[in-house]
Chain A
Amino acid sequence: MPFTKKLQKFNATIRTVELGTGEKAVKLGGGSTFPFYTFDGPTANPAKIGIEISDMGLENEPDCIKAFYEGCGSVAEIAKKAASFEGVDFVVLKLEGGDPNGADKPVEELVNVAKEVSEAIDLPLVVEGCKNVQKDAELLSKVAEALQGKNVLLLSAREEDYKNIAAAAGLAYDQLIGAESAVDINLAKQLNVLIKQLGVDLGKVVMNVGSAAAGYGFDYVISTMDRVRAAALGQADDSLLMPVITPVSSETWTVKEASASEEDAPGWGPVEERGIDMEVETAVACLTCGSDAVILKHPTSIATVSKMIQALS
Chain B
Amino acid sequence: MAKFITIGERLSTTAPTVNKAFLARDPEPILARAKAQLDAGATYLDVNIGPAEGYGEDLMKWAVQLLQSNFDNVPLALDTSNKAAIEAGISVYNRSKGKPIVNSADAAGRIENIDLAAANDAIVIALCNGEGIAADNDERMGYCTTLLERGLSLGLSEDDIWFDPLFVVIKGMQDKQMDVLHFIGDLTAMGLKTTGGLSNNSNGMPKHIRPIMDSAMVAMAMMMGMTSAIVNPNDLRLMETIKSCDIIRNDTLYADSYLEV
Q: A186 and B251 in contact (CB under 8 A), knowing A193-B261, A197-B260, A235-B2?
A: no
Q: Is B257 an interface residue (CB 8 A)?
A: yes
Tell whether, in the assembled complex, residue A186 and residue B256 are in contact, meaning their CB atoms are under 8 Å apart. yes
Closest to B256 in A: A190
Number of interface residues of B (CB under 8 A): 12
Q: Which of A185, A194, A235, A240 contacts B3 (CB 8 A)?
A: A235
Bound-state CA distance A226–B64 (Å) is 40
Give the chain B neighbours of A186 by CB distance below 8 A: 253-256
Closest to B257 in A: A193
Can you report 22 A-B residue pairs in the complex whose CB atoms are below 8 A from each other? A186-B253, A186-B254, A186-B255, A187-B255, A189-B254, A190-B256, A190-B257, A193-B255, A193-B260, A193-B261, A197-B257, A197-B260, A231-B253, A234-B1, A235-B2, A235-B3, A235-B252, A235-B253, A236-B3, A237-B253, A239-B255, A240-B253
Interface residues of B (CB under 8 A from A): 1-3, 251-257, 260-261
Give the chain A neighbours of B255 by CB distance below 8 A: 186-187, 189-190, 193, 239
Closest to B3 in A: A235
CB of B95, distance to nearest CB on chain A (Å): 13
Interface residues of A (CB under 8 A from B): 185-187, 189-190, 193-194, 197, 231, 234-240
Q: A185 and B253 in contact (CB under 8 A), knowing A234-B1, A235-B1, A235-B2?
A: yes
CB of A51, distance to nearest CB on chain B (Å): 33
CB of A244, distance to nearest CB on chain B (Å): 15
CB of B38, distance to nearest CB on chain A (Å): 14
Tell whether, in the assembled complex, residue B253 and residue A194 are in contact, meaning their CB atoms are under 8 Å apart. no
Bound-state CA distance A238–B252 (Å) is 11
Q: A189 and B253 in contact (CB under 8 A), knowing A235-B2, A235-B3?
A: yes
Give the chain A neighbours of B261 by CB distance below 8 A: 193, 238-239
Q: Which of B254, B260, B261 has the most CB of A within 10 A?
A: B261
CB of B222, distance to nearest CB on chain A (Å): 15
Give the chain A neighbours of B1 by CB distance below 8 A: 234-235
Bound-state CA distance A187–B2 (Å) is 21
Q: Return the 4 tightest CB-CB contacts between A and B, nearest first.
A: A190-B255, A189-B255, A231-B253, A193-B257
CB of A192, distance to nearest CB on chain B (Å): 8
Bound-state CA distance A238–B41 (Å) is 13
Q: Which of B2, B251, B255 has the most CB of A within 10 A?
A: B255
